[in-house]
A and B are shown apart, each in its own frame.
Chain A
Amino acid sequence: AQSVTQLGSHVSVSEGALVLLRCNYSSSVPPYLFWYVQYPNQGLQLLLKYTTGATLVKGINGFEAEFKKSETSFHLTKPSAHMSDAAEYFCAVSGPTGNQFYFGTGTSLTVIP
């Protein structure tokens, strides 16, 4: 069974501050992990993904995430928040067969000017 937990449904940061969005997963098999972003009234857009290899993954818009197997975590970070980063962020996990993705409940990021 696979599941995703996102700690903190709402996160607020000041513009220019570090962004840290937390994601923990449970999976009985080596997982594939994803972060998606959803802007208001839009569909989800892929930020980055981890499949195999390097555990630090870089994505679009300056975001990155690190896969830590020992902690079953895949936290999303960005060194300096921008106003345009305000959105809903979803972590997702998939197994090797990939027929089903499991999404976390999402974290709403607010950036304070």
Chain B
Amino acid sequence: NAGVTQTPKFRILKIGQSMTLQCTQDMNHNYMYWYRQDPGMGLKLIYYSVGAGITDKGEVPNGYNVSRSTTEDFPLRLELAAPSQTSVYFCASSSLGQGANEQFFGPGTRLTVL
């Protein structure tokens, strides 16, 4: 099993450009999450999904959009990139949303907005 995969690994955007960060998991997990990691700030939840067709906002959703058309995929969309969105983005999944279940993380996407 590949687990959670993310593409691309690195990306540089200009202000105002848009892009989609891809996330795929092959563990048949219902729950998927997007986090951003800023230096010294830990991980902040952007959006999460409890299943195909269902998404909800996390702590820091502004400037992002998500969709969940299949169980496997959970893409994150940046419509108008801003320097404040420079960060490392992690996708994660878990088998159930109940708090006892661990989240499995992808390797991350390092995004720079100039």
Interface residues of A (CB under 8 A from B): 4, 9, 31-32, 34, 36, 41-46, 49, 51-52, 90, 94-101, 103-106
Asked if B90 is at the interface (CB within 8 A of a chain A CB), the reply is: yes
Interface residues of B (CB under 8 A from A): 4, 31, 33, 35, 40-45, 48, 50, 56, 58-59, 90, 92, 94, 96-103, 105-108
Tell me what chain A mostly uses at the interface: helix, strand, loop, or mixed: loop
Instruction: Give the nearest-CB partner of A104 in chain B.
Output: B42
Q: Which B residues are in CB contact (< 8 Å) with A34?
A: 102
The answer on a CB contact under 8 Å between B102 and A43 is: no
Instruction: Give the nearest-CB partner of B101 in chain A.
Output: A98
Instruction: Give the nearest-CB partner of B3 in chain A.
Output: A43
In Å, the complex CA distance between A111 and B101 comes to 30
* A-B CB pair tally, cutoff 8 Å: 72
The answer on a CB contact under 8 Å between B107 and A98 is: no
The answer on a CB contact under 8 Å between A45 and B105 is: yes
The answer on a CB contact under 8 Å between A101 and B100 is: no
The answer on a CB contact under 8 Å between A43 and B90 is: yes
Instruction: Give the nearest-CB partner of B94 in chain A.
Output: A98
Instruction: Give the nearest-CB partner of A42 in chain B.
Output: B107
The answer on a CB contact under 8 Å between B97 and A43 is: no
The answer on a CB contact under 8 Å between A44 and B97 is: no
In Å, the complex CA distance between A45 and B40 comes to 18
In Å, the complex CA distance between A96 and B101 comes to 10
The answer on a CB contact under 8 Å between A105 and B100 is: no
24 contacts across the A-B interface (CB closer than 8 A): A36-B105, A41-B107, A43-B90, A43-B105, A43-B107, A44-B43, A44-B90, A44-B105, A46-B102, A51-B100, A94-B100, A97-B99, A98-B97, A98-B98, A98-B101, A99-B31, A100-B48, A101-B45, A101-B99, A101-B103, A103-B42, A103-B44, A105-B40, A105-B41
Q: Top 10 A-B pairs ranked by shortest CB distance?
A: A98-B99, A43-B105, A94-B99, A32-B99, A51-B100, A105-B42, A103-B43, A103-B42, A98-B98, A44-B105
